[in-house]
Amino acid sequence: MIRPAPTVASLAAYALADLPGGLVSLAQNESMLPPSPLAAEAGRAALEDAMLYPDPEWTALREALADCHDLDPRRILCGAGSMELIDGVIRAFAGPGDAVLGTQYGYLFAATACQRAGARHDRAPEADCTVSVDAILAALRPETRIVFLCNPGNPTGTRLPNGELRRLRDSLSGHILLVVDEAYAEFDGQEPLFDLIDRGDTVITRTFSKAHALAGARVGWGVFPPAISQEVRKLLNPNNVSGVSQAMARAAVSDAAHMRRIVAETAAVREEFAAALRRAGYHPVPSRTNFVLLPFAGAEAAARADRALRAAGFLLRNVAAYGLDTCLRATIGDGATMARVAAVLEDLAENPA
């Protein structure tokens, strides 16, 4: 018998979210529009160099990001998706006996990363599907090494204003690392908080998967204080981001107009969709992202809506694993798709079980 290491054997089996084929997927917060044509072209050109290992320092991509956001390129690390960076920072700074404090509806992958690290994952309650700084401060324990939060949040779509984030950082001890996952920041449009990195105790992660429409390329990035990035870098694979992906991401940075178009069109369709649902009597959670959290009267009503939507060809995300079994999460697709989804839900509202 070949035995796995005990820490691995105790992890839950790898299971993808329920994503049956044949349906229009509105389940993974992918972009409704394709990536910049410049990114596609750069990716095709980079294929010619596929016999070479990629740049392990992501030099050109880091410089493009640093230029765009007025950052020191040495502060930036790139990952195979921001998930790799989130996993790396948790493993680097939390181990057995330590705790990572997330929030009630915070990104589930952080809990997975904690299991891999052997660290405990605690949760601070949210208020009205929104992160609460006071609840986080009240939930700190002596073992808390990291506070992890998503801003805007997934699956809630709500955001904490910058002032509250600064208050959180100022109220936390300098021995606690604050990690802010800003996967949806481009949709939100708040001023970036990158100045917090200079404190030495805060990390911000971003991704090309959402507003840059490059989920399939697997590129994330983060801004780290030097002493933090030095440790996280040890845990990333040396050649973690392929040359094609680095080239695509770099070109995407240079086409900010395309990203802004994705953000603007997504917001327009999202607001139209939410307004149609409100007219039908639903109460979608106001969103700053490319998805909407949709509460139903109860778990059975949510399950019934899920069945009706699947029958009509649409797959929304079941968010029961977040403790939200009365809700579904809808990624914003194109206008015609969302009008059809709204029509199914209007029909359900008019014909209660």
**Judged by CB, which is closer to ligand PLP: 209, or 337?**
209
**Judged by CB, which is closer to ligand PLP: 107, or 296?**
107
**Judged by CB, which is closer to ligand PLP: 229, or 289?**
289
Q: What is each CA distance from 305 to 9, 33, 44, in whole angstroms?
A: 36, 26, 41
What do you get for the CA distance between the two ends of the chain, in Å? 52
Task: Give the shortest CB-9-to-ligand PLP separation in angstroms.
Answer: 25
Quick count: other Cβ atoms within 10 Å of Cβ 288? 19
Q: What is each CA distance from 195 to 176, 258, 302, 305, in whole angstroms?
A: 17, 26, 42, 44
**Judged by CB, which is closer to ligand PLP: 68, or 138?**
68
Q: Which residue's beta carbon is nearest to the bound ligand PLP?
A: 81
Task: Give the shortest CB-66-to-ligand PLP separation in angstroms.
Answer: 19
Task: Give the shortest CB-280-to-ligand PLP separation in angstroms.
Answer: 27
**Judged by CB, which is closer to ligand PLP: 35, or 342?**
35
Return residues touching ligand PLP (CB under 6 A).
Answer: 29, 81-83, 107, 150, 154, 181, 183, 207, 209-210, 215, 220
Task: Give the shortest CB-48-to-ligand PLP separation in angstroms.
Answer: 26
**Judged by CB, which is closer to ligand PLP: 112, or 132?**
112
**Judged by CB, which is closer to ligand PLP: 286, or 339?**
286
Task: Give the shortest CB-103-to-ligand PLP separation in angstroms.
Answer: 11
Q: What CA–CA distance (Å, rounded) separates 337 from 243?
A: 34
Task: Give the shortest CB-210-to-ligand PLP separation in angstroms.
Answer: 6
Strands 144-150 and 220-223: unpaired
Task: Give the shortest CB-220-to-ligand PLP separation in angstroms.
Answer: 4
